[in-house]
Amino acid sequence: MAVELSPRATRPARVGRLWKKLSAQRKAMVGFIIVMVFVLAAVFAPVLSPYGPTEQIFMDAMQPPSATHWLGTDSFGQDLYTRLLYGARSALWIGFASVAVGLVGGVALGLLAGLRGGRTEWAIMRVVDGLLAFPELIMAMAFMAIFGLGLSNIVWALGLSFVGPFARMVRADVLQVKERPFVEAARLMGVPPRDIVMRHILPNIASPILIQAGMRVSIAILLGSGLSFLGLGVVPPMPDWGLMISEGRGFITMAPWMSGVPGLALAILLVGLNLFAEGLRDALDPRIRPE
């Protein structure tokens, strides 16, 4: 039996190997660069933006792109470039935070169901089946209707809708891994159950979890923008791309940049996230050679 190093000793090496594999994937690097551009724009929005995110100059309402307003203004005279930068904050926060909520909840339920079995597994999976019975957007809309609008409620609503897929995937992987010889050998050697989970089971199911999480981020951003577009998400005047698209649809023939600018930004970010997620999948799949 191979001697296993402690998780603390092997974690930097694992991260280094993963980054080396990712750097060999061209589409992963393209996606990473696109995402990082949006992340930096969101972080440094106060420095990069010439106006306040809710500053209104009514004399400049619905101005086309110019030297004064690089991407034009909306019907309230708000600078679209500024709102685009601040809107990236809410989009990225919704994407990463909601996936984190679903990831934590789903992994916990999946591990418990896969390891305990019996009635515990049956009860957990029936709850998971109930969550999966509703489309993610419908569940999020119902959550928002009950608990109200706002950025934090969007995160919890989408996070709850992601618990089911994560839990089902983790449970299936745990059922396979826990029967492998190295796990059985650890049990016979008297390794505590917590150490078995942390050192043997979780590392062997980490790859599909990371891939699923990477793909869910773009879905969360799209759903969050959809909720705001429908009036069930971010509350005005907070900058949000879905809200900006919704506000501009009434002026699509007069001022197409009002919806076109946030729509294009959303599309570019989603492409970047999907490219990175596909590259992550290819890097973690040993059957796929680097491009």
The pLDDT, as a whole number, for residue 164 is 94
The pLDDT, as a whole number, for residue 2 is 38
Q: 223 in a domain, yes or no?
A: yes
The pLDDT, as a whole number, for residue 282 is 84
Q: 160 in a domain, yes or no?
A: yes
The pLDDT, as a whole number, for residue 14 is 67
- CA dist 186 and 183 (Å) reads 5
Q: 55 in a domain, yes or no?
A: no
165 backbone dihedrals φ, ψ, rounded to 5°: -60, -40
Please list the ranges in the chain whose pLDDT falls under 50.
1-9, 290-291
CATH of the domain at 168: 1.10.3720.10
Q: 65 in a domain, yes or no?
A: no
Q: 60 in a domain, yes or no?
A: no
Q: 32 in a domain, yes or no?
A: yes
Q: What is the pLDDT of residues 176-188, one digit of tens each?
A: 998 888 888 888 8
**Tally of domains in the chain:** 1
Phi-psi category of residue 290: left, alpha or beta, with phi > 0 → left and psi -120 to 50 → alpha: beta
CB atoms within 10 A of CB 62: 16
The answer to whether residues 269 and 225 touch, using CB atoms and an 8 Å cutoff, is no
Domain range for 36: 26-45+70-284
The pLDDT, as a whole number, for residue 38 is 97
Q: 33 in a domain, yes or no?
A: yes
Buried-exposed string 195-234: b where 16+ CB fall within 10 A, e elsewhere: ebbebbbbbbbebbbbbbbbbbbbbbbbbbbbbbbeebbb
The pLDDT, as a whole number, for residue 10 is 55
Structure tokens at 43: 């972080």
- CA dist 259 and 128 (Å) reads 37
Q: 19 in a domain, yes or no?
A: no
